[in-house]
Amino acid sequence: MRYKKDNMSAPVVTFSKKTINKEIARIVALAKETDFLFSGVAALDESGKNDIPEEVLTQIGKKVLEKVPQLSLLLISAGSTCCTVLACVAPDKQNDVSATDWMIAAGVSDSSFGGQDMACGVFTCDCPLKSKEEVAARAFAFARSSNLLVEDESSEEMIAYDLYE
């Protein structure tokens, strides 16, 4: 399986199955430690500068959820011209909140919204790294307020929050 980003003004970029599977394995390893995960997604091409297409991030999310089905997950990738964001809500939380609600709360307005379980969007911005952090902060605040993330004050468990990948 090879994914391509095709834009009239930019060259075609190919994302290899090996690179995508390596990223899936990294996210799954993090996800096995928690039922809630925020993670940055590394550039999947050799240059490290290209934007990850919505289709690729969605496939990564689906593969992660096949291995860790009770996970609520937010994946964010900052490319050279845009951010791609994927929100997935665990089945036991879907009566309370939808992935679409989570994306809207995070400020991702240019999205191909999904539904209760999964939503993905891409938005262009002047400074993708700064926008990635802003989206993450809003998404994290929404997760807390909507009980997607329930923090146990008595626990020393760390929340998996990896946006610097």
pTM > 0.85: yes or no: no
Name the DSSP letter for residue 120. E
CB 61 within 8 A of CB 75: yes
Going 100 to 91 to 58 to 40, the CA torsion angle's sign is positive
DSSP 56-106: HHHHHHHHHHHHSTT-EEEEEEE-SSEEEEEEE--GGGTTT--HHHHHHHH
Encode pLDDT of 53-104 as tens digits: 888 899 999 999 999 999 999 999 888 888 889 999 999 999 888 898 898 8
Instruction: Say which residues have a Cβ less than 8 Å from residue 67's Cβ, sequence separation at least 6.
Output: 28, 31
Is the model's pLDDT at 136 over the cut of 50? yes
Domain spans in the chain, listed from the N-terminal domain onward: 3-150+158-162
Which CATH architecture best describes the domain 3-150+158-162?
Roll (3.10)
